[in-house]
């Protein structure tokens, strides 16, 4: 096994950072990197048998984001090895790793390792920070440790050929997906917005358009907060009673630092 392929969905960039770091620390030669956050329709995957794939997704409501599943379903592998990684905002990852495992198995992959890492929560704000600035230095060291375990496992399967099935936490039926109220979504402060279009480009579901002013389609918005975190003028605001109640609850209940876990 000498080559590496990365596939990730990452609206606010923490999953991307973690998957890249793990991949780099394996020392394998990177031959493809697929960011499936945008334009999932255009994702044309090619998986070769002697390549290690690392798939990373953020946890949304204890599950794999639907948009990520739709893109990942296109992958077809002939038992090539895969590492599955979920990144969550210091609450819980619930059934996400188990669900990602199922998605990967259905694509024909052989799961050799899995992990749950922590990234700054998409809803984290200045006044209610949640897992602020994670992944941090300590997390990146854990990426290196995990990569070492992956390399060890790759050597083992080279000798044994068929690895035992990997068990990961999670249960069936998966946690129910909650319907997000369409009236709740980030809005634009027109005093700060200069219509640069960053939010339009960055939105994974094309929920934002500029028609004189920015308009957000609440039916499409997934609350991923890419627009809030990437706006160069801090003009995208996610501030209303519903989301503020969620932020407050997360801030109060999820402030004790959690650490990454691996399953190899």
Ligand X SMILES: Cc1cc2nc3c(=O)[nH]c(=O)nc-3n(C[C@H](O)[C@H](O)[C@H](O)COP(=O)(O)O)c2cc1C
**Where do contacts with ligand X occur on this chain (CB under 6 A)?**
10-15, 58-62, 87-92, 119-122, 222-225
Nearer to ligand X, 89 or 170 (CB): 89
How far, CA to CA in Å, does 5 sit from each of 8, 93, 109? 10, 24, 13
Nearer to ligand X, 88 or 109 (CB): 88
Minimum distance between the CB of residue 162 and ligand X, rounded to whole angstroms? 32
Nearer to ligand X, 12 or 53 (CB): 12
Residue pair 40/67 in contact by the 8 Å Cβ criterion = yes
| DSSP state for residue 163 in the 8-state scheme | P
Minimum distance between the CB of residue 112 and ligand X, rounded to whole angstroms? 22
Minimum distance between the CB of residue 1 and ligand X, rounded to whole angstroms? 26
Structure tokens at 182: 């369409």
Nearer to ligand X, 59 or 199 (CB): 59
Minimum distance between the CB of residue 50 and ligand X, rounded to whole angstroms? 28
Diameter of the chain measured on Cα atoms = 63
3-state secondary structure of 261: strand
Q: How far apart are CA 63 and CA 250, in angstroms?
A: 17
Minimum distance between the CB of residue 2 and ligand X, rounded to whole angstroms? 28
DSSP E strand stretches across the chain: 3-8, 29-35, 51-58, 81-88, 110-118, 187-188, 208-211, 213-216, 236-237, 261-263
Structure tokens at 17: 């950072």
Nearer to ligand X, 109 or 117 (CB): 117
Minimum distance between the CB of residue 211 and ligand X, rounded to whole angstroms? 25
Minimum distance between the CB of residue 177 and ligand X, rounded to whole angstroms? 10
Nearer to ligand X, 58 or 81 (CB): 58
Q: How far apart are CA 96 and CA 26, in angstroms?
A: 24
Which residue's beta carbon is nearest to the bound ligand X?
119
The alpha helices in the chain, defined as continuous H runs, are 14-26, 66-72, 96-106, 137-160, 198-202, 226-230, 241-253
Residue pair 44/14 in contact by the 8 Å Cβ criterion = no
Nearer to ligand X, 69 or 157 (CB): 69
């Amino acid at each position: 096994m000498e080559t590496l392929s990365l596939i990730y969905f990452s609206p606010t960039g923490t999953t991307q950072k973690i998957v890249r770091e793990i991949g780099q620390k394996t020392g394998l030669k990177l031959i493809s990197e697929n960011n499936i956050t945008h334009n999932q329709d255009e994702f044309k995957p090619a998986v070769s048998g002697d390549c290690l794939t690392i798939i990373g997704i953020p946890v949304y409501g204890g599950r794999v984001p639907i948009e990520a599943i739709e893109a990942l379903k296109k992958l077809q592998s002939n038992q090539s090895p895969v590492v599955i990684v979920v990144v969550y905002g210091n609450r819980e990852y619930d059934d996400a790793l188990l669900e990602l495992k199922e998605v990967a198995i259905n694509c024909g992959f052989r799961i050799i390792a899995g992990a749950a890492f922590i990234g700054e929560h998409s809803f984290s704000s200045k006044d209610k920070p949640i897992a602020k600035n994670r992944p941090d230095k300590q997390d990146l060291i854990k990426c290196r440790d995990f990569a070492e375990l992956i390399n060890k496992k790759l050597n083992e399967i080279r000798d044994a050929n068929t690895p035992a099935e990997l068990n990961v936490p999670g249960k069936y039926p998966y946690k129910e997906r909650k319907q997000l109220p369409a009236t709740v979504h980030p809005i634009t402060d027109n005093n700060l917005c200069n219509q640069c279009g960053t939010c339009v480009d960055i939105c994974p579901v094309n929920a934002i358009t500029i028609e004189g002013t920015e308009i957000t389609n609440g039916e499409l918005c997934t609350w991923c907060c890419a627009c809030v975190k990437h706006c160069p003028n801090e003009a995208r605001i996610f501030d209303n009673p519903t989301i503020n109640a969620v932020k407050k609850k997360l801030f109060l209940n999820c402030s004790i630092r959690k650490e990454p876990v691996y399953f190899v």
